[in-house]
Amino acid sequence: MVSSEGLCGSQAPIAAPVTQYGVTKPISMAGPTAADIQRSRDLEKFLVQAGLYESKEEASKREEVLGQIQEIVTNWVKQLTRLRGYTDQMVEDAKAVIFTFGSYRLGVHGPGSDIDALCVGPSYVSREEDFFFVLHNILAEREEVTELQPVPDAHVPVLRFKFSGIPIDLLYASISHLVVPHDLDISDISVLYNVDEPTVRSLNGCRVADQILKLVPNVEHFRTTLRCLKFWAKRRGVYSNVTGFLGGVNWALLVARICQLYPNAAPSMLVSRFFRVFTQWRWPNPVMLCAIEEDRLGFSVWDPRKNPRDRTHHMPIITPAYPCMNSSYNVSTSTLRVMMEQFQYGNNVCENIELNKAKWSALFEPYLFFQSYTNYLQVDILAADADDLRSWKGWVESRLRQLTLMIERDTYGKLQCHPYAQDYVDASKPCAHCAFFMGLQRKHGEIVQEGQQFDIRGSVDEFRHSISMYMFWKPGMEIYVSHVRRKQLPAYVYPDGCKRSRNLHLTPQQPSYKISRNNGVAYQAESGEKCLKRKKDPDGENSEQSRLDKRRSPDRNQSVSPEIVSRKLGSACTGCSTSDLDEMNRLAEANTSSNSSGISSCSHEDIGNESTAGSSEGSNVGDDNPSSSQSDSSDDLKSSVEDEHADQNKVFQDGLLKDLEVLD
């Protein structure tokens, strides 16, 4: 029997140990307030109204499609087993197993989104011949299958197609089993025995997705937060792994880390804390959900101590399954800059939401890319038909990131590029066509000197050469790279087809640039005052009459010009009329002439410190701190993230890590 004296003793109660998720202790264990719960309800209501959740009918159709694909690949493996002379019992036992990963496996897919799937087969069924040839032909004969596109030379080889209208990305992995067990545990490291690197990459999509779901404290809160932030990233133009931003797995890992740092937080809190943490994150310190497993089977793991290439990564986001890799190696200095600006935008809006000064809709205002820069590179992609365009566009898009890196390298980082993740189509052309755009601006704070030039002719030529290496090139596949000013952007990039005016005034103190008329692209700085004088000179080379003369008499010998550098990789597009191609050439020459004349009458905007119209929407943040859940103070944030950085000292040189700056 316990006496009342024992219950009232002087000993302080022992605090319950704090559960640790990931590599550090949480920043805060605080739960939501009533206001946080209401904001979470408002957020979920907004996401539903935005159409981010699929209907029960579509969910049922996806399950039906996956079942049909499972049946197809099982019959495919049985057929190959019989042809290779195995016993009847082996044929009966033979099977392939379909696993899902990506947004579908994580439970954050929406209407119309694709299904990432992995087919795991036995050791005697190969990827090169059996998957990309035999299975490809089987799928091609199915009436449910459309837009079948094999990509065998990709970093992760994939078959892309639509099955009954649902997009499928199908990978293949041959494991060291004669018979694939129906209850195969793909998270077990034994599946990696005696397989090659492409197979490891194919398997790791599923292994990473399973680990993420195991490492977050609340799966439903994780899913709501991830669904929100993926939608935000698409609206703000920073959702695209191929162009150097972040893809689905990257966003999932970042959100999962925030869930670990705030294990009891509601979705509205997690969204806010996401921006609060990552606006202050000291890249290239890595984001990790768990400790990096040491090399166990001979595969390379992310380790800057041993791998010099890993030291060049700008935004390491490490996968949690062996072999641990950096999932965001495509990020460049320019795309990291853009993302940090967008994180700050999100942080500002979320602070206003917590102060009841804004609603959730403000967070998802679209980024006004075509109002944010004065100068752009336009990459036009043409092909004979839609099928050719699909493969040609995929190849060019996968190389756009290289163009960004080449320009950064050749201008020593002084000219910054912002590749836009969305492609645009000129529906008026009979040719299959799409276009990508890239914003250009001088690095903020860069001192401008008289006569300074940014010559990117070599960068564009190198990019064109890399594009010309396409193994599956066909006649009609062409690419045009041109420089356009904002006022010369085509109407099809605007939602309503109308260009939006933007009044900017030139001041003598602001630098300006022009495009030189050499046979390439070069940007030259001049003073605004000098530019104004030239614009007012009626007899100068930049007078209105001079510009008209230039437009009337374009130099045909300079059709490959400073403002348009075209690469015709074959003969005329067979699916296009001759007049349409002539129109393209005329437009190219017209742009050359108008760009040269227009830009020579320079304004303060040319490749200067562009005004950030696209990133300044929404309310500004006041000096007040957010009113809810203040128990996770700035000191807690600083202390916890410093602890996390200290834990990662093993993979960084001493002195690399710095304290995280915390907003007041």
- Does 643 participate in catalysis according to the annotation? no
Q: Using DSSP, state whether 481 is helix, strand or coil.
A: strand
Q: Which of 95, 230, 393, 550 is catalytic?
A: 230
Cα–Cα distance list, 195 to 38, 298, 323 (Å): 50, 11, 13
Cα separation of 500 and 483, whole Å? 19
Cβ–Cβ under 8 Å, residues 562 and 520: yes
Binding residues for ATP: 101-103, 114-116, 169, 230, 239, 248-249
DSSP per-residue letters across 401-463: HHHHHHHHHHTTT-EEEEE-S--B--TT-SSEEEEEEEEEEEPTTPPP-TT-EEE-HHHHHHH
> If you search the block for the tokens 């509601």, which residue do you land on?
266
Marked catalytic residue, from 25, 53, 86, 114: 114
Residue at token pair 């399950």? 63
| HEC secondary structure over 342-405 | HHHHHHHHHHHHHCCCCCHHHHCCCCCHHHCCCEEEEEEEEECCHHHHHHHHHHHHHHHHHHHH
Sequence letter at residue 405 = L
Strand partners, 578: none
Binding residues: 101-103, 114-116, 169, 230, 239, 248-249
What one-letter code names the amino acid at 386? A
Q: What angle do CA 152, 102, 247 make, to 5 degrees?
A: 80
Per the annotation, binding residues for Mg(2+) are: 114, 116, 169
Q: Is residue 664 annotated as part of the catalytic site, yes or no?
A: no
CA dihedral 567, 570, 573, 579 (to 10 degrees): 60
479 vs 393: CA distance, rounded Å:
10
114 has catalytic annotation: yes
Closest by Cα among 196, 156, 207, 153 to 174: 196
Residue 230 annotated in active site: yes
State whether the Cα torsion 390-396-400-402 is positive or negative: positive
CB neighbours (10 Å) of residue 261?
25
Cα separation of the two ends of the chain:
53
Catalytic pick from 28, 172, 210, 239? Answer: 239
Judge whether 482 counts as a catalytic residue.
no
Phi, psi (deg, nearest 5) at residue 214:
-80, -25
Return the DSSP state at 183: T
Q: How far is residue 660's CA from residue 656's CA, in Å, rounded to a whole number?
A: 12
Considering just the CA atoms, what is the radius of gyration of the chain in Å?
28
Taking the C-alpha atoms of residue 291 and residue 283, their distance in angstroms, rounded to an integer, is 18
* 410 assigned to active site: no
Annotated catalytic residue, options 36, 116, 130, 606: 116
Catalytic hit among 40, 103, 332, 372: 103
Length of the chain in residues, anyone?
Answer: 664
Cis peptide before 419 (omega within 30 of 0): no
Distance (Å) of CA 484 to CA 181, 375, 407, 487, 498: 57, 6, 17, 8, 17
Q: Which of 21, 78, 113, 169 is catalytic?
A: 169
- Amino acid in position 158: V
- Paired with 440 in beta bridges are 375, 417
* Residue keyed to tokens 């403002």: 563
Q: What is the 3-state secondary structure (H, E, C) of 237-302?
A: CCECCCCCCECHHHHHHHHHHHHHHCCCCCHHHHHHHHHHHHCCCCCCCCECCCCCCCCCCCCCCC
CB under 8 Å to 224, separation ≥6 — which residues? 40, 43, 44, 47, 267
DSSP annotation of 133 reads I
Q: Looking at the annotation, which residues are catalytic?
A: 103, 114, 116, 169, 230, 239
